[in-house]
Amino acid sequence: QVLSQVIPTQLQRVTHRALHRLFHTRSCLFVVLHVALQAAVFGEYTWEVFVYCWELQFHILLLLLPYLLLAGNVGCFLLCSRASPGIVTKSNAASLVKVYAYDGVLFQRGLVCPTCTVKKPARSKHCSVCRTCVHRFDHHCVWVNNCIGASNAGVFLLYLLSLTATAAAVAAVTAAFLIQVLLLSNIMHGTYLDAQGQEHAVEIAFLVQHLFLTFPRIVFMLGFVILLTLVLGGYCSFSLYLALTNQTTNEWCKSRRLGGSPPLPSQPHDRPLIYKNIYSKGIWRNLKEIFNPPTVLEKKKK
């Protein structure tokens, strides 16, 4: 009985250590996985879909669109992974403190990072993975092996948009090819016999099965890319929402966990202060700030 209790505990510890090393230490594992998935998808697209579509006389610009989007995505990936997210140091902390005002709820004035021993500017956070304080910290992205902060948030948004567009373009061209094959074969107007010998009109399930038996790798790739497009599209929509409302992922998560906060010293203690985003300046200015982060504290217009 004691052994049966010890083994699950040890297994949990090993699992926890493995997950911690995987997600809380800088590693190129997810970068390699990211590149491998893109190579597999574009390898299949190039050697089968592109060739078949070329024979079917698809427009060359349509066939090259995924490659053009891929080139833009690779460029954004390199910039995002290599660019500094905006590290807070002892030399620039005093100037960064003047960039954003403290809201008194998520960000308190006068706090010092216990690890970096620097005064924490508003909207900054210490990243345990990179072991640095990041200005306007959003999150640590394992796929680019870098933090997302004030200096590379705009490039990261472009990276997400280009990655989603690339997956959608591959899915669109592949789906167009399979539909063209069905139209040329005229199978959609045919019939088939079931196991009992009864004749039925061709249905969608039969068409999918026919395509999977004829082009198994292409159909599998199409399913994977469609799923990827939906997931990336959802994340892109969320990232755009954050950009348009001038929030970070870190702030959004904290505000959702924060029902009410202790009042400021100047506020009555019977009135808890509810979080309110004080950094939003309107949709256009919020979006502009992502690509051109401010360097000084902007005074409110009277």
- Which pair of structure tokens corresponds to residue 102? 């403290």
Decide: 96 and 124 in contact? Cβ < 8 Å. yes
What pTM was estimated for this model as a whole? Answer: 0.83
pLDDT of residue 263: 43
Residue whose C-alpha is closest to residue 34's, from 74, 94, 66: 74
pLDDT digits (tens, 9 = 90+) for 104-161: 889 999 999 999 999 999 999 999 888 999 999 999 999 999 999 999 999 999 999 9
Rg (CA), the chain: 26
How many CB atoms neighbour CB 209 within 10 A? 12
pLDDT of residue 271: 52
Q: Active-site residue numbers?
A: 141
> Can you name the residues that pair with 119 across neighbouring β-strands?
112
pLDDT of residue 186: 76
pLDDT of residue 212: 85
Residue numbers in the chain where pLDDT is lower than 70: 1-9, 12-25, 188-202, 259-273, 296-302
The SS3 of residue 175 is: helix
pLDDT of residue 136: 96
pLDDT of residue 301: 43
Residue 254: CB partners within 8 Å, gap ≥ 6? 106
Residue whose C-alpha is closest to residue 156's, from 29, 280, 243: 243
pLDDT of residue 93: 92
pLDDT of residue 265: 47
pLDDT of residue 50: 95
> Can you name the residues that pair with 273 across neighbouring β-strands?
261
Residue whose C-alpha is closest to residue 155's, from 82, 228, 96, 246: 82
Decide: 273 and 284 in contact? Cβ < 8 Å. no
Distance from C-alpha of 88 to C-alpha of 81, rounded to nearest angstrom: 18
Q: Classify the phi-psi angles of 86: left when phi > 0, otherwise alpha if psi is within -120 to 50, otherwise beta.
A: left
